[in-house]
Amino acid sequence: MVKLRKSPELLVACLAALLAGCDTGAEPDTQAASTEATDTTLTGTLDRSLAGDEVPVVTVRQPDGTELALAETDGQPFLLNLWATWCAPCVIEMPLLDDMADELGDTVRVITVSEDLRGAEAVKPFFADHDFAALEPWMDPDNALAFAYGGGAVLPLTILYDAEGKEVWRVIGAYDWSTAEAREAVLEAASTK
């Protein structure tokens, strides 16, 4: 039997590890590490193991109160991205997603949903600081989507849904949405219309 000694250092280390992934509500610059992209930042890969799962019955909102029920997307394929202002890989991904959304137009809708607990207080300044051409400031401050995807959703999390609301694939972690391969993969949902 192994006996563990009580150690203040061990307790502090455990608490720090538990809190490391939490949205504490602090200003983004105090939570996030550097947002400079590196080759190792965009390491997400496509996962098709949950293909066919239905989109969760969750409603997201914009700061102005506009609502969007994800399960009622009018037969349009969409790419759903869960992100947060304090998540450095998420912030790196946002301009790439915006460029792709602008290029895709109505073919496949790109819906980015902030999981910031501070909701509009965090999202409005973030969108004001960036000049996104196509992304809209959707929010999920109650983390209903994170819970729907297993409670411990790692951010960023991006899921492609076809026109019937069925999952095609997902990416856990940041992904390089600027590549031709990414565009082809996203257009898979449009080909099943």
Residues 123-173 have pLDDT tens digits of 999 999 999 999 999 999 899 998 999 876 689 999 999 999 999 999 999
Whether residue 28 is predicted with pLDDT greater than 60 in this model: the reply is no
Residue 174 lies in a domain: yes
Q: What is the pTM (predicted TM-score) of this model? A: 0.79
Residue 86 lies in a domain: yes
What's the pLDDT score for residue 192? 64
Domain span at 176: 55-191
Whether residue 18 is predicted with pLDDT greater than 50 in this model: the reply is no
Residue 32 lies in a domain: no
Q: Using alpha carbons, select from 80, 91, 87, 112 the residue that is nearest to residue 23.
A: 87
Residue 73 lies in a domain: yes
Whether residue 57 is predicted with pLDDT greater than 60 in this model: the reply is yes
Phi and psi at residue 59, in whole multiples of 5°?
A: -110, 130
Specify the CATH number for the domain of residue 66. 3.40.30.10
Amino acid making up residue 44: G
Q: How is residue 165 annotated by DSSP?
A: S
- Three-state DSSP class for 36? coil
Q: What is the mean pLDDT of residues 14-43?
A: 43
Residue 68 lies in a domain: yes
Phi and psi at residue 165, in whole multiples of 5°?
A: 80, 25
Cα–Cα distances in Å, from 94 out to 32, 44, 72, 117?
15, 14, 24, 18
- DSSP-derived pairing of the beta strands 157-161 and 167-172: antiparallel
Residue 24 lies in a domain: no
In the chain, the number of structural domains is 1
Residue 3 lies in a domain: no
Q: Using alpha carbons, select from 58, 43, 7 the residue that is nearest to residue 165.
A: 58
Which residues have C-beta within 8 Å of that of residue 115, sequence separation ≥ 6?
A: 23, 82, 83, 84, 140, 141, 143, 145, 146, 153, 155
Residue 2 lies in a domain: no
Q: How far is CA 91 from the centre of its chain?
A: 10
Whether residue 16 is predicted with pLDDT greater than 80 in this model: the reply is no
Q: What is the mean pLDDT of residues 52-60?
A: 95
What's the pLDDT score for residue 52? 95
Whether residue 20 is predicted with pLDDT greater than 70 in this model: the reply is no
Of the chain, the percentage scoring pLDDT greater than 90 comes to 66
Q: Using alpha carbons, select from 32, 66, 86, 57 the residue that is nearest to residue 137.
A: 66
